């Protein structure tokens, strides 16, 4: 019985740690033009959220480490002003792969 309780305690602690590490990440977001979700393309996101404040594009090694395995990463930042959180969107090979809210924005509306 004690071993089972101990195992559940460790599993709960690991889950809490993993959740804290991804605290700012979400599966979607609300923009003025509607909801965006993981898997959406850049055209859909721009239609719903408008032009991003900043864009960054780079190529990263893919998950298999094979020579030709690369991922094109586009990162869009939306600074929606001091009353809203900064929204950072990561696209991988043209699909929305991560939605993250950061600190409050700085831009004036």
Residue 36, SS3? Answer: strand
pLDDT band at 9 (very low <50, low <70, confident <90, very high): low
Mean pLDDT over 24-44 rounds to 94
100 CB neighbour count, 10 Å cutoff = 18
Q: Give the model confidence (pLDDT) of 40-79 as tens digits.
A: 999 999 999 999 999 999 999 888 878 788 999 999 999 9
């Amino acid at each position: 019985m004690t071993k089972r309780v101990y195992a559940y305690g460790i599993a709960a602690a690991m889950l809490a740690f993993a959740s804290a590490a991804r605290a700012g990440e979400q599966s979607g977001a609300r923009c003025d033009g509607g909801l965006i979700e993981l898997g959406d393309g850049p055209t859909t996101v721009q239609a719903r959220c408008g032009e991003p404040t900043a864009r960054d594009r780079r190529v990263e090694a893919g998950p298999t480490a094979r020579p030709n395995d690369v991922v094109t990463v586009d990162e869009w930042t939306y600074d929606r002003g001091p009353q809203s959180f900064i929204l950072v969107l990561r696209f991988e090979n043209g699909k929305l792969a991560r939605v993250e809210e950061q600190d409050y924005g700085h831009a004036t509306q």
